[in-house]
């Protein structure tokens, strides 16, 4: 670059563009073209001046962050699709990534991504901008409220909830709570008796009651137990129908509790 007659400086290829890397300088500028540059360094001993073109233009990620704080809705064309997400074209010739986990609240990411094609124009919400790493995180599912949020706010550890079996697996059963929240009951928690701890005794669509043992808000999942619910019911039955002073055997107490449980189920 000629700064003044007889005074030249060098713009290294790495200082020519924020977004175009490993390209020939001729694809960015042409001979005799006038451009703004920033002086990066002056080495008088070596009579060398280092210049930068991209610094005179401003970091596009900084400019994007200033104009699009988290929560802003943007629109852009899908430039690339990979196994881990969608790359969306954004102002300033930069890309933002929608990770597969941020495509849908309910549909698994690897399935949700199949609904998109390169060239599609999509809307997304800005989740985070890391200027230092030149990364922009976007979300499509965040355009809508989390359908499970209300249930997560209401359900507490220890609550008894009615679930619908959604999948039977070798190590337990997956269930849905109020159609929006996923839960899992491990094999060992499927019943108090070992004979009842068989996932195959359940069928998809079957309704079961279980006690909540853990609420994972970040993963939007519940851990539940049928075994714990049954043990608690038996303890309550002992307290209600028999004591050590009443002379009632454990069998008598449990028989009375089972009769009451069956009667309640019949009435429902």
Q: Count of CB atoms within 10 A of residue 252's CB?
A: 13
Strand partners, 182: 176, 221
- Give 102's pLDDT tier (boundaries 50, 70, 90): very high
- The pTM is what? 0.66
Q: Is 189 exposed, middle or buried (0-12, 13-18, 19+ CB in 10 A)?
A: buried
Q: Does the domain at residues 145-268 carry the CATH identifier 3.30.1490.100?
A: no
Average pLDDT for the chain: 86
- The arithmetic mean of pLDDT across residues 145-162, rounded, is 92
Give the model confidence (pLDDT) of 185-233 as tens digits.
999 999 999 999 999 999 999 999 999 999 998 888 999 999 999 888 8
Per domain, the residue ranges of the chain are 2-57, 60-143, 145-268
In whole angstroms, give the CA distance from residue 244 to residue 238. Answer: 9
What superfamily in CATH does domain 2-57 come from?
Answer: Nucleic acid-binding proteins (2.40.50.140)
In CATH terms, the fold of domain 60-143 is OB fold (Dihydrolipoamide Acetyltransferase, E2P) (2.40.50)
**48-57, 129-138, 194-203, 225-234: which has the minimum mean pLDDT?**
48-57
- Give the containing element (helix H, strand E) for 111: helix 109-112
């Amino acid at each position: 670059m000629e700064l003044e007659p007889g005074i030249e400086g060098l713009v290294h290829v790495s200082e020519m563009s924020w977004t175009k890397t490993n390209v020939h300088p001729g694809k960015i500028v042409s001979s005799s073209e006038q451009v703004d540059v920033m002086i990066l360094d002056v080495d008088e001993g070596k009579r060398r001046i280092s210049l930068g073109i991209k610094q005179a233009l401003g970091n596009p990620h900084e400019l994007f962050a200033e104009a699009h704080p988290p929560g802003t809705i943007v629109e852009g064309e899908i430039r690339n699709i990979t196994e881990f997400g969608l790359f969306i074209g954004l102002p300033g010739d930069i890309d933002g990534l929608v990770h597969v986990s941020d495509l849908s609240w309910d549909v698994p990411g690897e399935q949700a991504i199949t609904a998109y094609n390169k060239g599609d124009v999509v809307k997304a919400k800005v989740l985070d901008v890391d200027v230092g790493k030149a990364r922009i995180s976007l979300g499509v599912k965040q355009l809508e409220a989390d359908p499970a949020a209300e249930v997560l706010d209401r359900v507490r550890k220890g609550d008894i909830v009615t679930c619908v079996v959604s999948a039977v697996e070798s190590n337990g059963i997956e269930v849905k709570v109020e159609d929006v929240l996923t839960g899992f009951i491990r094999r060992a928690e499927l019943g108090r008796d070992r004979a009842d701890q068989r996932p195959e005794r359940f069928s998809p669509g079957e309704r079961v009651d279980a006690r909540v043992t853990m609420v994972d808000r970040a993963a939007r999942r519940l851990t539940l137990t049928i075994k714990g619910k049954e043990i608690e019911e038996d303890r309550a039955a002992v307290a209600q129908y028999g004591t050590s002073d009443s002379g009632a055997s454990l069998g008598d107490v449990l028989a009375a509790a089972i009769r009451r449980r069956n009667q309640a189920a019949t009435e429902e």
